[in-house]
Structure 1
Amino acid sequence: MSKAKEMLYPVGVENLYLAFMVEGKDSESAIPTYEPEIYSLPTIEKIGIAGNITSANKWASNKLFVNVSKNDKFTLTLDHTAIPVEVMDKVMGVVSTKGITFDNSRPKEFPMFALGFIAPLSDGEKVARWYPKVQVTPPEESFETITEETNIPTQQLVMTATPLLFNDNTKVDYNSARESATGVTAEKFMEQVVCDETELETLFPIEGASS
């Protein structure tokens, strides 16, 4: 039996990946560019993914003729152990002076970044995913006193993934169990943000092909 026909299921989640857009936002005229450094964080505990689906039906001759659906964003809920201060400052779009930052009530557009993760499957295959355009929702915070019991609290970050202006892509998936998944691994897929189909030949060239 081919691996594409096997009954596979996720058995966990590995590192979280973050790549920040150059200039903090995308445009309609070009595929966005990202900073060279991709942060790989081994502190992810759980990521919840909720879509925002709208649908439309069209009836003709007393039959359902067209049934279309559209998902214009995802709400991502990240439970994590910790995120480095440097990364959180970039997520929140703040720059500190002498370790001090200021927040105010004026409207603010948070920076855009790509978020990705790898999820292993039951037979060792892997799913990898990029959300190429993500923004944070200001987090709720709480601070608790230390007790005698050892307890490392789980922290939560809520984000929204929306379509790229260039091509309307909201998420990009790789699954190593697919028959077409040759010459690519989940780890290689996460080495750069994948945004558009036109990038595939350059990012993942066929081995042995002439240049």
Structure 2
Amino acid sequence: MSQKEKRPSIKESVGGLRYCFATTNEVDPQIFSGKYEEEVAVSNVVKSIKRTENGDTTPVYASGRDYDTVSDTSSVDSEVEVVAFDPTDLAKMRGDEITESGLILKGGSSERPFFAFGQTVFYRQNRKKFRWYPKCKLTADTDDTNTKEESFSEQNDTVTIRAYPFNDKGQIAVEFDTAVKTATGLTEEKFFNQVITSDEDLKKVIAGD
């Protein structure tokens, strides 16, 4: 048996924010359609992303001892700190009503739409990680404002996005890490040109179909 030293790349920066709204399910708007609008929005406004997995870890006991541990992830929360956010898209994510005159009516009982959420993580040594969460909803957003002072001070907000299982296997995210495998011709732009939910989708993107 031998030993091999591994030196994984360290994180360098978070990339831009991607999102794509899901089309409405014609039978029941509350059910995820699994299909998306043609346009993927790109917004380079991200300061940080904090990721939290929601679920249970349950020990299994047998014959008077700890036999196994079962982990089940039901959803993933991403707290995204941003310097700004497109007001029209935010209103849509919140389920707010936008009138013909441009008035935004907030609150009340409204159905928040599903959307896909994508992010990039950059590492040293040119390593990149691309990730899609295909089935998401906005769960919270902040809108805090401070007074202007002599020197400029950032007034950032946070949007909290919850990702849910998008297929029968209960999978929540789709990820490609260049440290695991490289794909000739695959770029950040290509990966996020459409919402990827399967290996077949990735192969089509790489092939340029």
- TM-score normalised by the shorter chain: which range applies? 0.7 to 0.9
Question: In structure 2, what is the Cα distance between the partners aligned to 1:74 and 1:92?
Answer: 18
Higher share in strand: 2
Q: Name the structure 1 match of 2:8.
A: 7
Question: In structure 1, what is the Cα distance between the partners aligned to 2:200 and 2:66?
Answer: 35
Deviations 1:58-105 (A, max 9, x none): 222344322110111111111001112232232223323212021243
Question: In structure 2, what is the Cα distance between the partners aligned to 1:150 and 1:82?
Answer: 15
Consecutive unaligned residues of structure 2, counting only runs of 5 or more, are 1-5
Consecutive unaligned residues of structure 1, counting only runs of 5 or more, are none
Among 103, 108, 112, the residue aligned to 1:105? 108
Letter in 1 for 2:23: V
1:79 equivalenced with 2:90 (yes/no): no
Q: How does 1:1-211 map to 2 (within 5 A)?
A: 5-23=6-24, 27=31, 32-94=34-96, 95-106=98-109, 108-164=110-166, 166-178=168-180, 180-183=181-184, 184-205=186-207
Contact residue 191 and residue 202 of structure 2 kept, 8 A: no
Cα deviation for residue 166 of structure 1 reads: 4.8
Contact residue 47 and residue 81 of structure 2 kept, 8 A: yes
Cα deviation for residue 116 of structure 1 reads: 0.8
Cα deviation for residue 122 of structure 1 reads: 1.3
Higher RCO, 1 vs 2 (CA within 8 Å, ≥6 residues apart): 1
Distance 1:35 1:193, change over 3 A: same
Cα deviation for residue 163 of structure 1 reads: 1.1
* More off after superposition, 129-138 vs 12-21: 129-138
Question: In structure 2, what is the Cα distance between the partners aligned to 1:109 and 1:166?
Answer: 23
Question: In structure 2, what is the Cα distance between the partners aligned to 1:104 and 1:92?
Answer: 9
Count residues in correspondence.
199
* SS state at 2:125 partner: coil
